[in-house]
Amino acid sequence: MRLRSLPIEPVLSMLLLSACALSSPSSDTPKTPKPLMQVSTGTAIVSENEKTPTTTDSLEVSHATGANIVPLLTASGTILLGNASNKHRLTVFLDEDCVYCRQFILTTLPLITHTFIDTGRLTLERVFAPMTEEGTVKAKLALCAAAQGKFSEADHWLVTHGTTIDEKQFASVLGLKLPQLSLCLKGKDLLAENLKRAREANIERVPSFVLGKDSWLGLLDREELMRRIEEGLTR
């Protein structure tokens, strides 16, 4: 599956400013997400894409993250919100190190959750497509937290605390079992299928959306995004 081609017009050019791409790619570097990197206990990762102010380490998780829906970690390492057998599925390629993806998670996802997922009209699948090494670290931490039933808490923490990530601190703040977290980070590559999906869909920027035969790129205005989803549900 590939995202359909769109003409480069002023509107699209503005849209591309609302999407994140690989950081400073070289001319001979393929525009695909970077390979996984290992995270050691106590290692601090500084995010170049960080633009969201750091908040406290509170475990209070807002419904804005979609925490009222129990996330399902699939065997391929994606996250499902809603009924897995739903006819309509919105696939979103995201990077938690991307400012536009974080904005989507915090401000638009709650509206989609309330309007479409809570009502059973839509299932949302999150595919991790990190554009930076920091995004790769965040994706692994999120998935390993999901393996311990803490995806919503981890997701909220990661999109609001992107400046420095420490494995031990992460486990302590979210109430995760550090030995299990460490084994998960060093073990099975949960991101492999995510990155394969991203390559097959030719994802070079995030966020990217696919609903049936429709696809679009970048953080759209909330009303426009809701309109496109509504139209997609009629097909």
Look up tokens 């980070």; give the residue.
185
pLDDT in tens, 181-205: 999 999 878 899 999 999 999 999 9
Q: Which domains does the chain have, with CATH numbers?
A: 45-50+58-232 (3.40.30.10)
Dihedral of the CA atoms 93, 98, 99, 103 (nearest 10)?
30
Average predicted confidence (pLDDT) for the chain: 79
Look up tokens 């400046």; give the residue.
163
Q: Please name every residue paired with 210 in a beta bridge, in sequence order, or none if there are none.
A: 91, 215
Residues 205-216: b if buried by 16+ CB within 10 A, e if exposed: bbbbbbbeeebb
Dihedral of the CA atoms 39, 162, 144, 172 (nearest 10)?
90
pTM comes to 0.76
Per-residue confidence band for 52, with pLDDT thresholds at 50, 70 and 90: very low
Poorest-pLDDT segment among 4-8, 86-90, 158-162, 182-186: 4-8
Per-residue confidence band for 23, with pLDDT thresholds at 50, 70 and 90: low
Q: What is the 3-state secondary structure (H, E, C) of the chain?
A: CCCCCCCCCHHHHHHHCCCEECCCCCCCCCCCCCCCCCCCCCCCEECCCCCCCCCCCCCCCCHHHCCCCCCEECCCCCEEECCCCCCCEEEEEECCCCHHHHHHHHHHHHHHHHHHHCCCCCEEEEEECCCCHHHHHHHHHHHHHHCCCCHHHHHHHHHHCCCEECHHHHHHHHCCCHHHHHHHHHCCCCCHHHHHHHHHCCCCEECEEEECCEEEECCCCHHHHHHHHHHHCCC
Percent of the chain with pLDDT over 70: 72
Per-residue confidence band for 69, with pLDDT thresholds at 50, 70 and 90: confident
Pull the structure tokens for residue 58.
């509170």
pLDDT at 17: 56
